[in-house]
Amino acid sequence: MATRTVLTVPTQPIAGQRPGTSGLRKKVTVFEQPGYLENFVQSIFDSLEGFAGQTLVVGGDGRYYNDRAIQTIVRMAAANGFGRVLVGQHGILSTPAASCVIRKHQAFGGIILSASHNPGGPEGDFGIKYNTGNGGPAPEKITEAIYAHTQKLGRYLTVDTPDIALGDIGECEVAGTKVIVIDSVADHAALLGTLFDFDAIRALLASGDFRLCFDAMHAVTGPYAHALIVKALGAPAASVVNGVPLSDFGGGHPDPNPTYAEELIQTMFGDDAPDFGAASDGDGDRNMIVGRRFIVTPSDSLAVLAANAHLVPAYAGGLKGLARSMPTSAAVDRVAAALGIACFETPTGWKFFGNLLDAGKITLCGEESAGTGADHVREKDGLWAVLFWLNILAVRRQSVEAIVREHWQRFGRNYYSRHDYEGVDSAAANGLMAHLHAQLASLPGQTIDGALIASADDFAYTDPVDGSVSTGQGIRIGLADGARIVFRLSGTGTEGATLRVYLERYEPDATQHAIETQQALAGLIALADRIAGIRERTGRTTPTVIT
């Protein structure tokens, strides 16, 4: 092996490098500042122990700055003594694929470059996060250690070597470290192939009376969707739209919700709508499921998957348990109760599912933000959810809408909506949260506009596996009739603050299941404003996005 000529570059701490809900996300222009990326990467390495000679996985969602960042990280990984670096071809690895690759190749960990659903391009956002050897996002203990290190580091290590050829699958050497450019799709596609009944899905697609549309939103899932939906399952190539990853996502906002995935919604509500529609986000970990003229709420989707898991080969033997993030609707709790298994309630962010999955306490989990996943990897997995739905549809041969309506009939309906107020003045948003905090003790027992408030707290979570405690995870207000309002500030935004208001009301009566969601929640929406003073404090009369 060639000797490493490691360069020690002096640097200074940069303020504000604290990872949020899912890694460090900033404007590209911030990341392009000299030393910004290097400082953070060195802080990751300095916070870890025992990786000498081990494997690091590196890949991203292909957004602007992805390739340059990868070259920097490869040099720094070599300088810091990793033995091997696995990089996705063209720098591409969806978040679930990266998780799969880390696990399959027994890597020490991985660095994923993505700002997920945030817009890309030179004026857009960039992001970086570290995943541990289980393939999952680093827990808070590690992200906090990384942040602490960014505030004191004085140097970073790199080597002076040429760029590697990201387009060519194969092996090369960077200052004594083996760098392998791998197929971005193969490992993940092979893993998904072991979970679902591909024959049944193939038969459904070949039956002639089923059509689907998958919108990759010009983000990372295009190549994955082609490999799985078109090549492996035999759907026509035109079933995948916007399937070529672009560094600015075609100017779009790769967030699979009815507002930003407008094109898919138009297709699915059009005259010649296909039977099944789906979209994924920037880094491929989220999913939106749409039936013909029928949108499936992510919280309902999780519940439907859990209730139908016995139809899928990988889960036919039973589920160990279920989990959802706190703001996610309780629809899945009812399924867990019916199955007689545990249902855990975690803070927002996939990192909180990792211990439960590792400990074998849960099999499926999900979030209201359109993330669903299972124990096959340690990230949420967009295409996994799509294949799961296709598997169910192939067995049940009913429409998406019929399946969801039957589900409500059996379990009752959790009317649910999230209202996002994006780009709110940070001081105003913090003021609103402080105002809520100040009311926590006095709210229970009060009747406001006819609604009796039963509970009010700031959600704290004690991890049942390692006992770690996470506080300040969102304000919950529970009404005596079981309805619920949750307020939290986003931890993924890069401009001002984003206030998220989550609204939920349970309706057991099947004759009341056809109400339009916003109408069904109108009383709660008004109550949320009354308690938090949203309009008055943010100056907004309507949310930016309603999902």
Which residues are catalytically annotated? 116
Q: At what angle do helices 400-411 and 382-396 cross, to 10 degrees?
A: 90
The total of other beta-carbon atoms located within 10 Å of residue 307's CB is: 22
Stretch that binds ligand VG1, among 144-152, 305-313, 343-351, 477-485 (CB under 6 A): 343-351
d(CA 72, CA 85): 12
Residue for token pair 């997920």: 116
Residue 193 binds what, of ligand VG1, Co ion, none (CB under 5 to 8 Å, by partner type)? none
Compare residues 334 and 380 and give the one whose CB is closer to Co ion: 380
For the bound state, the minimum distance from the C-beta of residue 365 to ligand VG1, rounded and expressed in Å, comes to 11
The verdict on 131 binding ligand VG1 (CB under 6 A) reads no
The verdict on 286 binding ligand VG1 (CB under 6 A) reads yes
For the bound state, the minimum distance from the C-beta of residue 321 to ligand VG1, rounded and expressed in Å, comes to 20
Binding mask 16-35 for ligand VG1 (x = CB under 6 A): -----xx-------------
Residue 371 binds what, of Co ion, ligand VG1, none (CB under 5 to 8 Å, by partner type)? ligand VG1
For the bound state, the minimum distance from the C-beta of residue 368 to ligand VG1, rounded and expressed in Å, comes to 7
For the bound state, the minimum distance from the C-beta of residue 382 to ligand VG1, rounded and expressed in Å, comes to 9
Stretch that binds ligand VG1, among 33-41, 57-65, 279-287, 448-456 (CB under 6 A): 279-287
For the bound state, the minimum distance from the C-beta of residue 284 to Co ion, rounded and expressed in Å, comes to 7
The verdict on 367 binding ligand VG1 (CB under 6 A) reads yes
Residue 412 binds what, of ligand VG1, Co ion, none (CB under 5 to 8 Å, by partner type)? none
Residue 140 binds what, of ligand VG1, Co ion, none (CB under 5 to 8 Å, by partner type)? none
Q: What CA–CA distances, in Å, run from 484 to 112, 338, 350, 457?
A: 35, 22, 22, 12
Q: Which residues of 325-360 are buried (b: 16+ CB within 10 A; e: fewer)?
A: bbbbbbbbbbbbeebebbbbebbbbbbbbbbbbbee
The verdict on 490 binding ligand VG1 (CB under 6 A) reads yes
Residue 490 binds what, of ligand VG1, Co ion, none (CB under 5 to 8 Å, by partner type)? ligand VG1
Question: DSSP character for 314?
Answer: G
Residue 473 binds what, of ligand VG1, Co ion, none (CB under 5 to 8 Å, by partner type)? none
The verdict on 378 binding ligand VG1 (CB under 6 A) reads no
The verdict on 344 binding ligand VG1 (CB under 6 A) reads no
Query: What would the two tokens of residue 14 be?
Result: 């940069």
Using CB atoms, what's the residue nearest to ligand VG1? 116
Q: How wide is the angle at C-alpha 516 spanned by C-alphas 513 and 522, nearest 5°? A: 105
Binding mask 82-121 for ligand VG1 (x = CB under 6 A): ----------------------------------xx----
d(CA 352, CA 59): 22
Instruction: Find the radius of gyration of the CA atoms of the chain.
Output: 23
For the bound state, the minimum distance from the C-beta of residue 292 to ligand VG1, rounded and expressed in Å, comes to 26
d(CA 158, CA 39): 11
Residues forming the site for Co ion (CB under 5 A): 116, 281, 283, 285
Query: What would the two tokens of residue 458 be?
Result: 């700031």
For the bound state, the minimum distance from the C-beta of residue 41 to ligand VG1, rounded and expressed in Å, comes to 19
Residue 347 binds what, of Co ion, ligand VG1, none (CB under 5 to 8 Å, by partner type)? none
For the bound state, the minimum distance from the C-beta of residue 255 to ligand VG1, rounded and expressed in Å, comes to 8
Question: DSSP character for 322?
Answer: E
The answer to whether 531 touches 485, Cβ cutoff 8 Å, is yes
* Residue 313, phi-psi category: left (phi > 0), alpha (psi -120 to 50), beta (remainder): alpha
The verdict on 349 binding ligand VG1 (CB under 6 A) reads yes
Residue 418 binds what, of Co ion, ligand VG1, none (CB under 5 to 8 Å, by partner type)? none
Residue in 88, 91, 254, 371 binding ligand VG1, rule: CB under 6 A: 371
Compare residues 103 and 380 and give the one whose CB is closer to ligand VG1: 380
Amino acid at 512: Q
d(CA 310, CA 53): 42
d(CA 512, CA 240): 36
The answer to whether 40 touches 146, Cβ cutoff 8 Å, is yes
The total of other beta-carbon atoms located within 10 Å of residue 410's CB is: 12
Compare residues 281 and 463 and give the one whose CB is closer to Co ion: 281
Question: DSSP character for 519?
Answer: H
Amino acid at 111: I
Residue in 350, 352, 384, 502 binding ligand VG1, rule: CB under 6 A: 350
* Residue 444, phi-psi category: left (phi > 0), alpha (psi -120 to 50), beta (remainder): beta
The answer to whether 482 touches 416, Cβ cutoff 8 Å, is no
Chain contacts with ligand VG1 (rule: CB under 6 A)? 21-22, 116-117, 281, 285-286, 325, 348-350, 367, 369, 371, 490-492, 500
